[in-house]
Structure 1
Amino acid sequence: MPWLRISMDCARADVEPLLQFLDRLGADSVSIVARGDGALYSDDPAAPEYWRQSRLQALFPIDAEPDILIACLRNRLGTARAESLCIDELDDQDWSLSGRIGLEPLLFGEQLSICPSWVAAPPDRRVLTLDPGLGFGTGSHPTTALCLDWLSARDLRGSVLVDYGCGSGILGLSAVLLGAAEAWLVDIDAQALEACRVNAERNLLLDRVRFLSPGAAPDRPADLLVANILLNPLLDLAPHFSRLVRPGASLALSGLLATQAGDCLAAYDPWFSMGSMTFRNEWALVQGRRRSAASAD
């Protein structure tokens, strides 16, 4: 299936705001490639590194309205910076090749690495092979990195984990690599579940994952749940999440701006004992434990 590709140049400081804006416009995926000097740079050691000048390439469904998208981006970028905007059609094979520039293995905790298939895997790591594609999640976005750091810091051996809004399956598959007995991958998007299936098969993990629609009722409660989505669905899903996990189960929620974390904590407090928050740039992860049935329900 062809896709609508919109490309634009931007400075390092504009990458994160533009990624958020493109997501709100409905981009299915965005790649970042270097322009000019290939050196990565960041003022803050804790912040993601980007090139001083980058080119963003965003994919939209072929039936998107290009005039509206371009108008929104021109308004967001301003007249001078909008001169770099261009739009064309791209098929899936071209997209997979264009995303290879500048990608390196990503490391999380002491054990985990997320690595594209064409890059040599780092030694002495549990490696999840994951290529950029149409399922959201390659580990580079701060919220995904927050979730992967959270998983890497836990003893997952023998546990069952729910990855709700799984996208590419990166969180659930990583959990299995780190010792979880099983991951339940949940998404409303059939294309995302198919991407999960492909990624699970490539990493020889297919026998340790289950693919579920949001309305499915598992036959037993899980030990952990992680969801990297957006604030409004997280608020709506709090009662449902409480039914998916056992008392004492661990919970991690991201996809949140730091300014939204308080609202999320309050929404989950009736069912979960909410604990500390973790931040990366303007993004947050909140965590908690499922209260006992007697105290919560």
Structure 2
Amino acid sequence: MADTKWLEIAVNTTPDKLDEVCAKLAAAGMDGLVIEDEGEFLQFLEQNRQYWDYVDQELLDRMRGITRVKFYVTDDADGHAQLERYTHGLGFEHTVTPLSDNDWAYSWQKYYKPLTIGDRLYVVPEWERDKPVPEGRSPLYLNPGLTFGTGSHASTQLCLEGVEAHTLPGRSVLDLGCGSGILSIAALCLGASHAVAVDIDPKAVDVAYENAALNGIGKDRYTVMAGNVIADRALAARLARERYHLVLANIVADVIIPLSAQVPALLEQDGVFLCSGIIDTRADEVQAALEKNGLHVIRRREKNGWVALEARLADE
């Protein structure tokens, strides 16, 4: 991956349109967003003071009056196709800037700081692993790559809270649309016996395995596969050979709805299906699909316009 070239896409917008831009990009499948907004930046500084002694004035000046969303794709045929998909019908102008590996590393690491999530989790970028972990927290070390989840997005945080609530020692986990592997690796760090993870993007396999290794988790406990569980019947049948205590899907409503038909065959009798990545305006539609397919919603979590639903088999 050392020779990989990347493109930085910047979508310029306004504070009142920021949520719309993020929602459109997320609905198109891009969940690795970097938001550069002066208001959110100042709020971030205020809420995370413990991570620094001072903030460089140059950075403050550079953020003044800014509202934009950035994301990254590889500078190859796959990346160009992704870019076309993400920006089709977006309705906002965007710029494309080629980046070197060093540009990317610097750009990403500037903004990615440890996150406290729920009561126990502490998501730590790999380059800050030498810093102390707060007492009572379980660290989850992550080097997410460019296009996969980091824990900073509200939908991922909602899912992590659910993972913390429902992971039981010695029980199994299935992570559908795993990206960086953050959710299933979090469950393994919290005591799950083993996990299987699947993503439609083959690049996610190496990323998830690398992140697992950062946490001392090997292939004896963690299996990552590439494939489309909805379209690939052989893959769906392979996954259904085992039932899982916790099934995760941090994707989008348009994927969760058809996926919900397969979930009952994957869940243990006392298991939990946890889905997120749902824009709040579509949460009722997703819940209706879950209930139609034999699942009963037991909890709804909400944050910044995003919703996560937790469900069990309806006869429980």
1:271 is matched with which residue?
294
CA separation of 1:54 and 1:127: change in aligned 2, threshold 3 A: farther
2:103 to 94, 99, 105: 94
State the Cα deviation string for residues 95-145 of structure 1 (Å, max 9, x = none): 232111132211112211111122324322211111342342111111101
Worse overlay, 21-30 or 153-162: 21-30
Worse overlay, 270-279 or 244-253: 270-279
1:245 is matched with which residue?
267
1:109 is matched with which residue?
118
CA distance in structure 1 between the partners assigned to 2:246 and 2:310 by the alignment? 11
CA distance in structure 1 between the partners assigned to 2:268 and 2:39 by the alignment? 52
Worse overlay, 27-36 or 225-234: 27-36
CA separation of 1:55 and 1:121: change in aligned 2, threshold 3 A: farther
CA separation of 1:164 and 1:243: change in aligned 2, threshold 3 A: same
The answer to whether structure 1 residue 140 and structure 2 residue 152 are counterparts is yes
Contact 2:29/2:252 (<8 A) preserved: no
Unaligned runs of 5+ in 2: 48-62, 230-234
CA separation of 1:164 and 1:69: change in aligned 2, threshold 3 A: closer
1:281 to 301, 304, 307: 304
2:211 to 199, 205, 208: 199
Contact 2:30/2:147 (<8 A) preserved: no
1:20 to 20, 23, 48: 23
Displacement of 1:187 in angstroms is: 1.1
Contact 1:5/1:58 (<8 A) preserved: yes
Could you tell me which amino acid in structure 2 is paired with residue 60 of structure 1? V
CA distance in structure 2 between the partners assigned to 1:55 and 1:121 by the alignment? 33
2:197 to 179, 185, 198: 185
CA distance in structure 1 between the partners assigned to 2:300 and 2:314 by the alignment? 18
1:118 to 112, 116, 127: 127
SS of structure 2 residue aligned to 1:153: helix
Contact 1:134/1:195 (<8 A) preserved: no
CA separation of 1:114 and 1:12: change in aligned 2, threshold 3 A: farther
SS of structure 2 residue aligned to 1:252: strand
SS of structure 1 residue aligned to 2:192: coil
* TM-score of the aligned structures, taking structure 1 as reference length: 0.81
Contact 2:196/2:223 (<8 A) preserved: yes
SS of structure 1 residue aligned to 2:191: coil
Could you tell me which amino acid in structure 1 is paired with residue 206 of structure 2? E
Could you tell me which amino acid in structure 1 is paired with residue 244 of structure 2? A
* TM-score of the aligned structures, taking structure 2 as reference length: 0.76
CA distance in structure 2 between the partners assigned to 1:26 and 1:286 by the alignment? 19
CA distance in structure 1 between the partners assigned to 2:277 and 2:31 by the alignment? 16
1:58 to 71, 91, 98: 71
Could you tell me which amino acid in structure 1 is paired with residue 123 of structure 2? I
CA separation of 1:61 and 1:117: change in aligned 2, threshold 3 A: closer
1:209 is matched with which residue?
222
CA distance in structure 2 between the partners assigned to 1:135 and 1:58 by the alignment? 8
Unaligned runs of 5+ in 1: 45-50, 77-81
Could you tell me which amino acid in structure 2 is paired with residue 87 of structure 1? V
CA distance in structure 1 between the partners assigned to 2:142 and 2:174 by the alignment? 19
- Give % identity: 29
Q: Which has the higher helix share?
A: 2
CA separation of 1:116 and 1:33: change in aligned 2, threshold 3 A: farther
- What number of residue pairs does the alignment pair up? 279
2:248 is matched with which residue?
226
CA separation of 1:245 and 1:104: change in aligned 2, threshold 3 A: same
Displacement of 1:21 in angstroms is: 3.2
1:2 to 1, 5, 8: 5
CA distance in structure 2 between the partners assigned to 1:187 and 1:69 by the alignment? 18
CA distance in structure 1 between the partners assigned to 2:302 and 2:114 by the alignment? 22
SS of structure 1 residue aligned to 2:166: coil
